[in-house]
Amino acid sequence: MKILVMDDEPQILKLLEKYLTMLNHQVVTASNGQRGLELVQQTPDAFDLIVTDFKMPGLDGASVVVRLENEGYQIPVVFITGYGMADKKVDMQNLQIVAVLNKPFDLKKLSQIVSQVEEAKSR
């Protein structure tokens, strides 16, 4: 599976890239939401899954996902967050959010979620 990972923390970005690559996924990283948005728009069918930090400076993960959905993209999303999502005012009912992982999270849990998305895509 091809996975876009967005996070403004370089250590988390590198960790997720190494881990997901080790699980035989193709991983593209973006250190901010604007770059992640551009990557998806440049190659519309390139990604099977987005794993993104919820809050980032500038264009945050939630805003990227909302914009992508408004533009017609249907890419499943896993949010990772150190802040929780209860305070987010964006209506996310229609978004394809498959999971929200609170930092710090277990990489095995992420692996299970990625496997579930992969399984659903192969049906």
Please count the structural domains in the chain.
1
Give the C-alpha separation, 121 to 116, whole Å.
9
Q: What is the mean pLDDT of the chain?
A: 88
Q: Please report the pLDDT score of residue 94 as a whole number.
A: 56
More confident site: 103 or 119: 119
Q: Please report the pLDDT score of residue 83 as a whole number.
A: 67
Query: By the 8 A CB rule, do 72 and 48 touch?
Result: no
Range of the domain at 52: 2-121
Residues sharing a CB contact under 8 Å with residue 7, sequence separation 6 or more, in sequence order: 13, 16, 29, 31, 52, 53, 56, 80
Give the C-alpha separation, 66 to 69, whole Å.
5
pLDDT higher than 60, residue 31:
yes
The model's pTM = 0.90
Q: What is the CATH number of the domain that holds 34?
A: 3.40.50.2300
41-92: per-residue pLDDT in tens? 998 788 999 999 988 888 988 899 989 989 999 899 999 987 655 445 445 5
34-50: per-residue pLDDT in tens? 999 999 999 878 899 99
Mean pLDDT of 93-97: 67
User: Of the given ranges (23-27, 36-40, 100-104), which has the lowest mean pLDDT?
Assistant: 100-104
